[in-house]
Chains A and B, each alone.
Chain A
């Protein structure tokens, strides 16, 4: 398994949600590459399309979603795959950890038995062997063995999330998609789960897509980050580089609005609101809120600009990089 080996490639993906009176372009012409062993963080605010993108990759979009473009997983386009074959890939090759662990578990079944059912649905092995596998994974994710016989409501939020992570690992997937896995957990438990995810990713030699709204968390777990805004990826780069020197005005604004514990500096919110995705948008989607925007930005959609091996969807990416266009981000 080499580092540069591509596991997942998303090409020109669009997801449109259709309702009676509107077509909402939740994901709009997104390109994405994920290498084996890599953790990619998808970062953005609510409604930016990051969860839709994750759901599209694992193939669990609702019926009113219209998908175009390609999602190549190990070279196979899984968008057009028949349902039956997709079902084999889902959970066996691509697994997901959702943000609300409570809703992913059946309240009437013991958690151990639920996990055994997952294995038996995919593999024809004796139940005893499945149970052994579940117990093995319980210890791996740091759950005491006697939790096997617990019901979901008897567990704390953190333990439930560990059960969900164990469930995702049951069939040795190659890709784990974690959608806000620590939202709603306590600060101390959040770090335990983040460390656990980092650890199992290493141990199972998986790739991971980590979806979050928190750029500091994204930076902690990921090798590379892709920032999404209004259905598009606006910037992608190695995590450290991206935060040390953001090249897209939206990323700059995001890093500026991050609250920290070390300094007490008065901050300003990002003015305005994200655009309405049910309407046709001309020009750059961030233009209305961008402090660098010129007329051109409102007329024409900026291309993805390559700067030092990174990409930014901004006419001024190069100028920002060369500090011709200044910003007052005072990061460390």
Chain B
């Protein structure tokens, strides 16, 4: 079953500009996403990796119902997400990078976890029992004393678990997790990633796992989309994409991560171009080690490669 799907989603932002631009009637358009189609099936963790400016967070917001696309359609559980039907309240939840910024510091832990249920109109007794169940599913205590604590009494890893408990308490079909473990120390990171996998297995919740860290994606994601300058450069089952990258961009990324034992690595030259001034031709052509003249003039399509993979490159 398909939980959520985008078809050819494009997103443009008009940037607020200075006085001179206003007088000259000049507009600056930032293209965050270009014709992106992703599918999120049930009971799967879908990884979305990319560098800054790749549009990964924007795609998460669009799939989460927070930001309508400029073009294209978004479907959630079979109906249009940005139509005039009722919004799927409680069926999509979020977990963000910074747990401290995601909670009201004056709330107790029970208030934090119960809040989604309050908004959905659950009775107090139901709220209490569901909140306890959610806390137990993320491996936290459920006693009165713990429930009465405030966020500042917890460590970052514990608080991120509370936030995940808040996300699962309304039994959502989809959780958008934007760098949920990136701020945590390595020893705690594994715990949060294991938790995400166990929630997929026990509740059948699907996750959109957004990260810049390929190693985290490798660890949790079932299927992977690699984003660059608002476009999918490559997609496929995570292990095959990261172990045998087809696209030069994915390959360069994989090769720029120091691992134990690596001596001298060749860095990708240059930096990610601005999404305000997209390069003509292939987005990666300005930095690609194998780019030829054709790459700078023609724009490659995302094409099927082999059984279950797709890559966007003219030279393949």
Given A188-B252, A216-B260, A267-B190, verify A261-B268 contact (CB < 8 Å). Answer: no
Query: What is the interface residue range for chain B against chain A?
Result: 35 or more
Instruction: Known A217-B258, A269-B187, A332-B260; judge A260-B215 contact (CB<8 A).
Output: yes
On chain A, the residues within 8 Å of B52 by CB distance are 157, 186
- Cβ of A331 under 8 Å from chain B: yes
Question: A269 near B258 (CB under 8 angstroms)?
Answer: no
Q: Chain B contacts of A268 at CB under 8 A?
A: 190, 194
Q: Which of A180-213 contact B (CB under 8 A)?
A: 186-192, 194-195, 213
Q: Are A254 and B214 touching (Cβ within 8 A)?
A: no
The answer to whether the Cβ of B253 comes within 8 Å of any Cβ in the partner chain is yes
- Do A261 and B191 touch (CB < 8 A)? no
- Judge whether B187 and A270 touch: CB under 8 Å: yes
- Find the residue from A46, A219, A220, A255 having the highest chain B CB count within 10 A: A220
| CB closest residue in chain B, given A218 | B258
For the complex, is B42 an interface residue (Cβ under 8 Å from A)? Answer: no
Interchain nearest-CB distance for A143 vs B (Å): 12
**Assembly CA distance A243 to B214 (angstroms):** 21
Q: Please, what's the 1-or-0 string for B201-233, where 1 marks a CB less than 8 Å from any CB in chain A?
A: 000000000001111101100000000000000
A-B contact count (CB 8 A): 116
Give A191 to B256 CA distance when docked, in angstroms. Answer: 6
Tell me whether A319 is interfacial, beta carbon within 8 Å.
no
Question: Are the C-beta atoms of A257 and B186 separated by less than 8 Å?
Answer: yes
Q: How far is the CA of A190 from the CA of B12 in the complex (A)?
A: 28
B190 close to A190 (CB less than 8 A)? no
B189/A257 in contact, CB under 8 A: yes
A238 CB → nearest B CB, Å: 14
**A214 CA to B272 CA, complexed, in Å:** 23
How many of A's residues come within 8 Å of B, CB to CB?
Answer: 42
The residue from A45, A156, A259 contacting B185, defined by CB atoms under 8 A apart: A45
User: Does A283 lie at the interface of the complex (its beta carbon under 8 Å from any beta carbon of B)?
Assistant: no
Nearest chain B residue, comparing its CB with the CB of A268? B190
Residues of B within 8 A of A308 (CB): none
A284 to chain B, nearest CB (A): 17
B186: A residues at CB distance < 8 A: 45, 213-214, 254, 257-259
Whether A258 lies near B260 (C-beta < 8 A) is yes
State in angstroms the CA–CA spacing of A273 and B161 once bound together.
Answer: 15
Does chain B have a CB within 8 A of A264? yes
Cβ of B155 < 8 Å from any Cβ of A? yes
B262 within 8 A of A: yes
**Contact between A219 and B253, CB atoms less than 8 A apart:** no
Our pick among A159, A240, A261 for the contact of B243 (Cβ within 8 Å) is: A261
Would you call B259 and A261 a contact (CB within 8 A)? Answer: yes
B88 to chain A, nearest CB (A): 32
CB < 8 Å: which of A187, A240, A331 contacts B256?
A187
Residues of the A chain whose Cβ atoms lie less than 8 Å from the Cβ of B189: 257, 259, 269
Chain B residues contacting A257 (CB-CB under 8 Å) are 186-187, 189-190
Question: Which residues from A are CB-within-8-Å of B216?
Answer: 259
Among A189, A255, A269, A270, contact of B260 (Cβ-Cβ < 8 Å) = A255
Beta-carbon contact of B243 and A262 below 8 Å: yes
CB contacts (< 8 Å) of A191 on chain B: these are 256-258, 265, 267-268
Which of B243, B252, B271 is the most central at the interface, judged by chain A CB atoms within 10 Å of its CB?
A: B271
In the complex, B314 has a CB within 8 A of chain A: no
Q: How far is the CA of A257 from the CA of B215 in the complex (A)?
A: 11
Pairs A–B under 8 Å by Cβ, sample size 13: A187-B256, A215-B260, A219-B262, A258-B186, A259-B186, A259-B218, A259-B219, A260-B259, A264-B219, A268-B194, A269-B191, A331-B260, A332-B261
